[in-house]
């Protein structure tokens, strides 16, 4: 069975080199849906608690929220970094408190200190799905990702291999047979 949870992500981007309106910097509220597949854990009668999926995913997804997402070859990138540097906000600011976990994958690098994500490919809804899968595939049993932004939407299904050992009392993933939340031992 699947546990399904959604996230709102507000971001700014543009399609560099695209022949259309999207070549101009603009913003969206994107909605990401994560479907996690596993057996139903008999102790809690859930696949996985959705608030725990949210916590795990948001740790990294926070980097995209209220952030600017630019492709690595976009000339806006050095221009924006130059302005941030002049303003003294490139390496952080006390009011920038929504910082996610730093990440660098083949497809994207997060700079939480200045609320920026640099991508290898254009950040379309399809591009976002590829980035998110890469970031979360080892943390969650992802069966399907869907991302919608304005009138655009994309979805991808993934084969799920194996099952995650979960706590029968609170449902979260066990670490070396111990529940990090309630201390249950297998």
Residues that bind Zn ion (CB under 5 A): 167, 169-170, 179, 181-182, 184
As a whole number of angstroms, the distance between CA 109 and CA 104 comes to 4
Beta-bridged to residue 112, according to DSSP, are none
Residue among 64, 113, 118 at smallest CA distance from 90:
113
Give me the least distance between CB of 183 and Zn ion, in Å please.
7
List Cβ<8 Å contacts ≥24 apart for 89-97.
89/114, 90/114
Please identify, using beta-carbon distances, which residue of 143 and 179 lies nearer to Zn ion.
Answer: 179
As a whole number of angstroms, the distance between CA 70 and CA 18 comes to 13
Please identify, using beta-carbon distances, which residue of 90 and 169 lies nearer to Zn ion.
Answer: 169
* Contact status, residue 39 vs residue 51, Cβ threshold 8 Å: no
Task: Write the DSSP symbol of residue 23.
Answer: G
Please identify, using beta-carbon distances, which residue of 14 and 115 lies nearer to Zn ion.
Answer: 14
Please identify, using beta-carbon distances, which residue of 21 and 106 lies nearer to Zn ion.
Answer: 21
Give me the least distance between CB of 85 and Zn ion, in Å please.
26
Give me the least distance between CB of 168 and Zn ion, in Å please.
8
Give me the least distance between CB of 70 and Zn ion, in Å please.
12
């Amino acid at each position: 069975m699947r546990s399904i949870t959604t996230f709102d992500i507000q971001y700014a981007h543009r399609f560099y080199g695209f022949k259309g309106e999207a070549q101009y910097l603009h913003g969206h509220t994107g909605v990401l849906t994560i479907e996690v597949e596993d057996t139903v854990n008999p102790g809690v009668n859930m696949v996985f608690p959705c608030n725990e999926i949210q916590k795990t995913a948001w740790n990294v997804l926070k980097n995209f929220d209220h952030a600017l997402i630019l492709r690595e070859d976009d000339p806006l990138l050095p221009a924006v970094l130059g302005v941030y540097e002049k303003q003294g906000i490139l390496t952080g600011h006390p009011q920038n408190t929504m910082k996610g976990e730093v990440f660098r994958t083949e497809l994207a690098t997060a700079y939480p200190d200045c609320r920026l994500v640099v991508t290898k490919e254009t950040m379309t809804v399809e591009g976002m799905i590829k980035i998110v899968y890469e970031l979360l595939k080892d943390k969650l049993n992802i069966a399907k990702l869907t991302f919608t932004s304005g009138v655009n939407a994309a979805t991808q299904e993934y084969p799920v291999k194996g099952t995650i050992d979960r706590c029968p009392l609170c449902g979260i993933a066990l670490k070396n047979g111990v529940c990090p939340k309630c201390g249950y031992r297998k």
